[in-house]
Structure formats: structure tokens, C-alpha cells
Amino acid sequence: MTAYLEQFFAGLHGIWDTTFGIFGLEDALDILIMAYLIYHGVKLVRETRAAQLVKGIGIMFLFYFISRLLKLKMLSFLMDNVLQAGLFAMVVVFQPELRRALEQVGRSRISKLPMFSSGLSEQEQLNGWTRFIEALLEEAPSLSRQRIGALIVIEMETKLGEIIKTGTIVDADPSPELIGNIFFPNSPLHDGAMIIRDGRIHAAGCFLPLSDNSEISRELGTRHRAALGMSEVSDALVVVVSEETGYLTICRNGHLERGISMEKLRSVLSSALLSEKDGPEKIFDRRKGRKG
């Protein structure tokens, strides 16, 4: 019996050596990187329309392995060709998600190294954002009360150079009077968006991409669709004043919240610009954000 057990454990030891003897540090690193990529890939598409496409692709791969396992020649031939073409089609189908993933890489900690910074010191940035927040909070009640439409895009990590080119460069310190004058009815820059960069009014009269989300409430006009569209393709924080109701709205990461108070606006702006960059993300409830 003892000899049998010794032989059994010797066999297990041999299997262990055979299996893990060639397992090195680079193999462990490879597995960790793949696990990280898969996890963040799933996280990226989980809350998007692409989630259903991922499920469909998973089912196709399941059929492919079954056909190979059972040696179903016609089905294997069909799945081979479909999957080969599908790899190229995925680049087109998942273009928004791929772009968002690359932008998230650009917004990682690596992008905050000195070589990628804006050139302003942390204190200068803080002072600039503080001046902007105070100017907007002073003017916003007047815009809301008079029902003057306004669309303000606050640039975060994703640069909005292409959007800025569609408008007029202002590059001025923010003030309640300037914000009010830009959005005053029938002024040259009234209908476009104001772009805020590093706490300064960088541009105005800019055109934004409209959201094609079919779940948007029909009550929302062009400004709100533009604000939502801008927040879908960038990490910008967008503030809207409705011309019809005077309601304040904030948009970020494809989520929209209407009818916010001045206190809520201050809280969101302070959290986004004066503390953690990702603070406001938790404020937007997916179940409420798109109902309008």
C-alpha cells in the first residue's frame, strides 16, 4: 500500500513538473495582460448597443467550435468564411467603441506626465477653473430666468480641436457679462456652443455632433441632442440652458440629467474641475439619464 501511494504521488509530481516546469514569468505576465484586456473589453461594451453584437459573435464562435468538433464539413466551411469576413467587419461595426477605448488609454495616468501636460501649473489650473465656475454660477440664474438658450462645453482630457475649428476663437477670461453677451439672442455666436479650455472661454459659435440615440425624449431640442452627442464622443462635461423652459441640464459620458438646481450644478462642476476628474460619473444614473 505504501509503495502504491509513493508511486501515485511520484506520478502527480511528474505531472506537476511537466505542466508547470516550463511555466515562466513571461507566461504569467501574458495571462495577466490578456485577462486585463478581456475584462476592460467586456466592461467597455457592457452598457452599449455593441453588447448584443458581442453576444452574437460569441454564439457564432460556439457554432464554429461545435462544427469543428463534430467534423461538420459544410458548417465548418461556412463558419470559416463568415468569421474571416467578420474580423474586418468588426472594425467598422465597433468603430465608436474602439475610438472610446483609445481615448480612455489617452486619459490614463500616462497622459498626465509632464510631457503631455498643458504647460499650466496645478495652481494656475485650479485658479482658472474656480473663476469659470463662479462666473457661470453667477450668470446661469439670469439665463435660466430669461430663458436664454446656452450650450457650454467644458473640455476635459479629450481635446476638442476639430470642434473649435467650426467656431470663433475668443480666448478670454470668463465673466458673467461675457457669457451673457455671447448667448444673448440674435448675437453672432448665440446659436453655437461655447468651448471652455483650462478655465478660459476658448471659443464660441461652435457646431457639435448630434446624438443619434433613439431613446432621447422628443421634448428635447437641438441643443440637448448636440450636448448629448458631444458627451458621447468625448469626456467633455456639457451644460445646457433650455430656451423653451429655462431648465438647466448637464451631460457627460452619454448621460443626461435635466432640471438640476444651482447647488447641484456647483457640486458637479466642483467635483469635475476642482477635485477628482471622474467624480461626476457616479452622478449620472443610467436608468434616469436618458428619459429626459
- Residue-range domain boundaries for the chain: 23-106, 118-289
209, 190 contact by CB (below 8 A): no
In this structure, what C-alpha cell is assigned to residue 226?
448636440
Predicted pLDDT at 22: 66
Strand partners, 197: 200
User: What per-residue confidence (pLDDT) applies to 202?
Assistant: 95
Give 175-220 as a DSSP string: -HHHHHHHTSTT-TTTTSEEEEETTEEEEEEE--PPP--TTS-TT-
Cα–Cα distances in Å, from 153 out to 110, 150, 159, 220, 292? 25, 10, 11, 18, 19
Find out whether 253 and 281 touch, Cβ atoms under 8 Å: yes
Task: Give the per-residue pLDDT at 141.
Answer: 95
Per-residue confidence in pLDDT tens, the chain, 292 aa = 455 556 655 665 666 556 555 667 777 888 899 888 888 777 766 655 566 677 777 888 888 888 888 888 888 888 888 777 777 777 776 676 666 666 666 655 555 555 445 556 777 788 889 999 999 999 999 999 999 999 999 998 888 888 999 999 999 999 999 999 999 998 889 889 999 999 999 999 999 998 877 777 777 888 999 999 999 888 899 999 999 999 999 999 888 899 999 999 999 999 988 874 444 444 444 334 443 4
Q: Give just the sign of the alpha carbon dihedral 254, 255, 258, 261.
A: negative
CATH topology (fold) of 118-289: YojJ-like (1 (3.40.1700)
Task: State the pLDDT at residue 281.
Answer: 43
Beta bridge partners of 204: 168
Q: Edge-to-edge, what's the strand order for the sheet holding 193-197? A: 168-172, 200-206, 193-197, 150-154, 237-241, 248-252, 255-258
Coil, strand, or helix at residue 221?
coil
**Can you give the pLDDT at residue 290?**
40
